[in-house]
């Protein structure tokens, strides 16, 4: 769908993007992750053709990205804003027209959306008379009204109460089901696993990780398990080449251990070692969350930079 | 192109639909007409108020008979003794005073004027004129000069200034009227350039602050948005001017219909004709003051007819538009570079300096010597020509100069817009960065 190749963006004092390549597959929800100031906004602005990269190429459906693609992209910026003095309906029609919709078509679709989100009574209200959450809802509609093939959402849930956040999330999923590719930019990881098929992690102007969520998690599985057991005999001897004990919690004969199995061994080997000594109640693999991976990768690059200095 | 049209449409409609637009459209002509009426009314009133009664204690027993009461001063003969009258005067109101004419008035040529408070200068002047006339008449008489002779030696030279045009024909011209129109144009252009230029700036700051800019910029090019805004607000300005002209004409029409009845109008016409024929037959004879004022009004009207209003209005629109485009582009650049209006002032002052300077000069050098070196140069430089050229036009400017100045203005507009657009495209996406001149230069140099 969208392919960024070797993008470099240089500002006067710093390099905002350093040789970043990203592939966004069609019909997926793509998480663009990274801490503040990593370069996410620069990438989004380049995709929106607000700014141009110093070098590198961007392909939209295998065509060089050009102004004609603007109408196929919908963009919800992190910093929301609308003309405060303008009426909701009027403003929506104006924004839709700028995206190439006819006035009639814009009206028709607005009626559909306003009814769907139950905000039909807002048509003649001024933006400044709406609450912040209401404004966000209006702006979300403005983003998707022209039925873009690529929707870019920069922190779409900020400013919403949980109820409305859920409504917006459902709408995003529905748009995705109907064929839209979605770029979801955030530095909040909770929703990423729930929503994203693929992610790219940007830090310090560089892409440090990308791929499907499943693949990345598998990559970061490091044979860590949590095992509940009841000791049958004396104390279990954890002095073994099989694993390292990370945590131990015990209450009478109930024991919970968190272990990291050493690379040359498997879970089966560990179980074989433990079963004679205890009754196994539960074995759970600890899969790293995207959050953990994010923290790990970001602090790791941080360390590297420090060491280099 | 279609998107620029949409932007222009929005900028135009949101402003024209505002209540404040309607208000200014109708209020400004009303205020002007109101001021005009007010000035006339107040002048009239001050005349009424200054009317005073003057008791004349005449020791010559001759002067009093020659004093004629006018609408400002009523002379009352007073037979009482001077000292007694002075005592009485203290009990009367301020508008009453005593003129004491001593016996040796014709020789000493001095009188005493006594009043409760400080005497009104206009009244004093009128009394002085009347007394001077009486003395003069007396002296003429003593030298044996009759009224007949005096009438025949009275002369009144009229200068009819005519300008030689390029084609050799001469036209009547009047410097005072040209000056008046020049200054009016200077003020009008100066105020409106500021007004609409800062509207452009405010609009951009609003878009930047509300962050809608990012949404719009993802749909249209920054240049389209900037030009759309400039053109849209320019059209608002033109609409405003056009409406002012229409409203003023209608209001003036209504006012003259209601205030001046038809009979009065007809009377006046008759009077004018009579006076004109009178003028023709007894040229040089002193007429009453009313005839003179009517004559000068007729003269003003005939002179106004020589003013080339279509040319002036046409040039006004050209030079206002040109100046507006140049300055609004600069205002747009400033608006994009700052986060608030207060921050903008450090940039608006330098960019509007040429405008301010020309405006100030228009009251001096430009108007006194409209075809001098300074005026001519200023009317060619695009940053100053919107005011300088308009100041010169009522005095008659060769067509080639107007054309060259207009072309330079267009070139200036293209140049400033090019600079402004380069700063604008970077500035609108910069938040919280304190813009300095160095920073602006850097933005200007960025590749797109």
pLDDT, position A78: 85
Average pLDDT in the B384-409 region?
A: 91
A139-190 pLDDT, tens per residue?
999 999 999 999 999 989 888 888 999 999 999 999 999 999 999 998 878 7
In the three-class reduction of DSSP (H, G, I as helix; E, B as strand; rest coil), residue A85 is classed as coil
Average pLDDT, chain A: 88
User: A186-200, A231-245, B215-229, B342-356: which range is least confident on average?
Assistant: A231-245
**CA distance, residue B10 to nearest chain A CA (Å):** 8
Q: Which residues contact B428 (CB under 8 A, 6 or more apart)?
A: B204, B207, B208, B213, B217, B222, B336
Interface residue of B219, B424, B447 to substitute, partner A, most A CBs within 10 Å: B219
Sign of the CA dihedral running B347, B349, B353, B355: positive
**Of the candidates B212, B429, B442, which has its C-beta nearest A82's C-beta?**
B212
Cα–Cα distance between B35 and B27 in angstroms, integer?
12
Q: Above 80 in pLDDT, residue B8?
A: yes
Average pLDDT in the A23-42 region?
A: 90
Q: Above 90 in pLDDT, residue A296?
A: no
Cβ distance B215 to A75 less than 8 Å, yes or no, reads yes
| β-sheet with A73-76: strand ranges across | A73-76, A150-154, A181-186, A29-33, A198-203, A206-212
Cβ distance B210 to A81 less than 8 Å, yes or no, reads yes
Which tokens go with B195? 């007004």
Domains of chain B, start order? 50-150 (3.40.190.10), 173-239+307-445 (no CATH)
User: CA nearest A47: which of A92, A96, A7?
Assistant: A7
Residue B44: band (very low, low, confident or very high) from pLDDT cuts 50, 70, 90 = low
Q: What chain A residue is nearest to B445 in terms of C-alpha separation?
A: A12
Check residue B306 and report its DSSP letter: H
Q: Above 70 in pLDDT, residue B162?
A: no
Enumerate the domain spans of chain A: 2-218, 222-285
Cα–Cα distance between B93 and B81 in angstroms, integer?
20
pLDDT, position B149: 83
Tokens 């008379």: give the residue: A129
Cβ distance B214 to A79 less than 8 Å, yes or no, reads yes
Q: Above 60 in pLDDT, residue B265?
A: no
**Of the candidates B215, B447, B448, which has its C-beta nearest A95's C-beta?**
B215
Q: Higher model confidence: residue B217 or residue B269?
A: B217
Average pLDDT in the B267-290 region?
A: 47
pLDDT, position B409: 94
Can you spell out the DSSP letters for A15-83? EEEEEEEEEE-TT-EEEEE--TTSSHHHHHHHHTTSS--SEEEEEETTEE--GGGGGGEEEE-SS----
User: A227-236, B131-140, B184-193, B424-433: which range is least confident on average?
Assistant: A227-236
User: CA nearest A94: which of B197, B212, B56?
Assistant: B212
Residue B287: band (very low, low, confident or very high) from pLDDT cuts 50, 70, 90 = very low
Beta bridge partners of B99: B56, B113
B176-211 pLDDT, tens per residue?
778 888 888 898 899 999 999 999 999 999 998 888
Q: Which residues contact B138 (CB under 8 A, 6 or more apart)?
A: B106
Residues in A touching B217 (Cβ below 8 Å): 48, 50
pLDDT, position A29: 94
pLDDT, position A235: 66
Which tokens go with B98? 């005593």
Highest mean pLDDT, choosing among A116-125, B74-83, B149-158: A116-125
CA distances, B294 to each of B252, B272, B275, B276, B300 (Å)? 21, 7, 9, 10, 10
User: A49-58, A225-234, A269-278, B82-91: which range is least confident on average?
Assistant: B82-91
Average pLDDT in the B50-73 region?
A: 79
Q: Which fold has domain A2-218?
A: Rossmann fold (3.40.50)
Q: Which CATH class is domain A222-285?
A: alpha beta
B292-336 pLDDT, tens per residue?
445 555 665 666 666 777 888 889 989 999 999 999 999 999 999
Which tokens go with A1? 């769908």
Interface residue of B4, B199, B212, B443 to substitute, partner A, most A CBs within 10 Å: B212
Which tokens go with B145? 């000069």
Average pLDDT in the A93-119 region?
A: 92
**Of the candidates B7, B207, B211, which has its C-beta nearest A77's C-beta?**
B211
Number of neighbouring beta carbons within 10 Å of residue B106: 16
Cβ distance A75 to B212 less than 8 Å, yes or no, reads no
Number of neighbouring beta carbons within 10 Å of residue B395: 19
Interface residue of B218, B425, B430 to substitute, partner A, most A CBs within 10 Å: B218
Which tokens go with B230? 């400039």
Q: Above 70 in pLDDT, residue B92?
A: no
pLDDT, position A125: 92
CA distances, B205 to each of B337, B428, B429, B435 (Å)? 9, 9, 11, 14
**CA distance, residue A66 to nearest chain B CA (Å):** 12
As a whole-number percent, the residues of chain B with pLDDT over 70 amount to 80
Cβ distance A98 to B212 less than 8 Å, yes or no, reads no
């Amino acid at each position: 769908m969208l392919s960024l190749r070797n993008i470099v963006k240089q500002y006067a004092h710093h390099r905002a993007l350093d040789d970043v390549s990203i592939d966004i597959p069609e019909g997926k929800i793509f998480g663009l992750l990274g801490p503040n100031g990593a370069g996410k906004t620069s990438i989004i602005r380049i995709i929106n053709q607000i700014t141009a990269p110093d070098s590198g190429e961007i392909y939209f459906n295998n065509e060089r990205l050009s102004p004609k693609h603007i109408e196929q992209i919908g963009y919800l910026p992190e910093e929301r804003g609308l003309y405060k003095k303008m009426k909701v309906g009027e403003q929506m029609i104006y924004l839709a027209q700028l995206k190439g919709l006819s006035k009639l078509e814009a009206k028709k679709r607005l009626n559909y959306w306003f009814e769907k989100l139950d905000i039909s009574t807002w048509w003649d209200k001024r933006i400044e008379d709406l609450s912040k959450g209401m404004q966000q809802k209006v702006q979300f509609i403005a983003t998707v009204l022209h039925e873009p093939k690529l929707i870019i959402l920069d922190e779409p849930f900020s400013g919403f109460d949980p109820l409305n956040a859920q409504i917006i999330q459902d709408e995003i999923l529905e748009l995705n089901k109907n064929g839209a590719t979605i770029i979801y930019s955030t530095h909040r990881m909770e929703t990423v696993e729930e929503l994203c098929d693929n992610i790219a992690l940007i830090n310090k102007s560089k892409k440090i990780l990308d791929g499907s969520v499943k693949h990345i998690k598998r990559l970061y599985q490091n044979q860590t398990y949590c095992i509940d057991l009841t000791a049958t005999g004396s104390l279990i001897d954890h002095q073994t080449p099989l694993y390292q004990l990370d945590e131990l919690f015990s209450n009478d004969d109930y024991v919970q251990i968190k272990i990291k199995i050493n690379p040359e061994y498997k879970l089966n080997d560990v179980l074989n070692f433990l079963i004679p000594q205890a009754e196994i109640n539960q074995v759970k693999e600890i899969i790293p969350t995207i959050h953990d991976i994010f923290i790990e990768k970001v602090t790791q690059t941080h360390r590297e930079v420090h060491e280099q200095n | 192109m279609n998107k620029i049209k949409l932007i222009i449409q929005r900028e135009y409609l949101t402003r024209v639909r505002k209540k404040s637009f309607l208000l200014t459209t109708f209020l400004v002509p009303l205020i002007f007409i109101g001021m005009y009426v007010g000035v006339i009314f107040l002048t009239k009133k001050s005349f009424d108020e200054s009317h005073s009664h003057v008791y004349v204690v005449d020791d010559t027993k001759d002067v009093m008979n020659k004093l004629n009461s006018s609408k400002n001063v009523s002379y009352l003969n007073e037979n009482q003794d001077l000292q007694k009258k002075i005592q009485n005067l203290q009990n009367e109101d301020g508008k009453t005073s005593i003129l004491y004419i001593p016996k040796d008035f014709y020789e000493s040529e001095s009188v005493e004027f006594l009043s409760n408070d400080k005497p009104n200068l206009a009244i004093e002047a009128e009394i002085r004129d009347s007394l001077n006339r009486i003395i003069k008449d007396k002296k003429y008489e003593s030298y044996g000069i009759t009224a007949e002779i005096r009438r025949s030696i009275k002369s009144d030279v009229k200068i009819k200034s005519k300008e030689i045009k390029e084609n050799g024909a001469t036209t009547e011209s009047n410097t005072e009227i040209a000056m008046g129109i020049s200054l009016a144009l200077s003020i009008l252009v100066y105020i409106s350039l500021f007004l609409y230029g800062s509207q452009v700036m405010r609009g951009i700051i609003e878009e930047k602050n509300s962050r809608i800019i990012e949404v719009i910029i993802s749909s249209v090019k920054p240049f389209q948005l900037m030009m759309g805004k400039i053109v849209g607000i320019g059209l608002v300005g033109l609409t405003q001017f056009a409406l002012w002209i229409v409203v003023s004409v209608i209001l003036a029409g209504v006012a003259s219909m209601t205030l001046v009845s038809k009979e009065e109008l007809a009377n006046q016409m008759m009077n004018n004709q009579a006076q004109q024929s009178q003028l023709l037959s007894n040229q040089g004879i002193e007429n009453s003051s009313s005839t003179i004022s009517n004559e000068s009004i007729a003269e003003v009207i005939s002179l106004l007819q020589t003013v080339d209003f279509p040319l002036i209005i046409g040039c006004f629109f050209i030079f206002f538009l040109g100046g507006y485009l140049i300055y609004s582009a600069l205002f747009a650049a400033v608006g994009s570079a700052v986060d608030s209006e207060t921050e903008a002032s450090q940039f608006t002052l330098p960019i509007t300096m040429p405008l301010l300077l020309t405006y100030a000069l228009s009251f001096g050098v430009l108007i006194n010597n409209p075809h001098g070196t300074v005026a001519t140069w200023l009317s060619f430089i695009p940053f100053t020509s919107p005011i300088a050229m308009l100041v010169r036009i009522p005095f008659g400017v060769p067509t080639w100069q107007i054309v060259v100045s207009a072309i330079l203005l267009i070139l200036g507009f293209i140049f400033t817009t090019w600079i402004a657009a380069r700063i604008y495209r970077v500035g609108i996406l910069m938040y919280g960065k304190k813009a300095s001149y160095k920073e602006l230069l850097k933005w200007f140099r960025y590749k797109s």
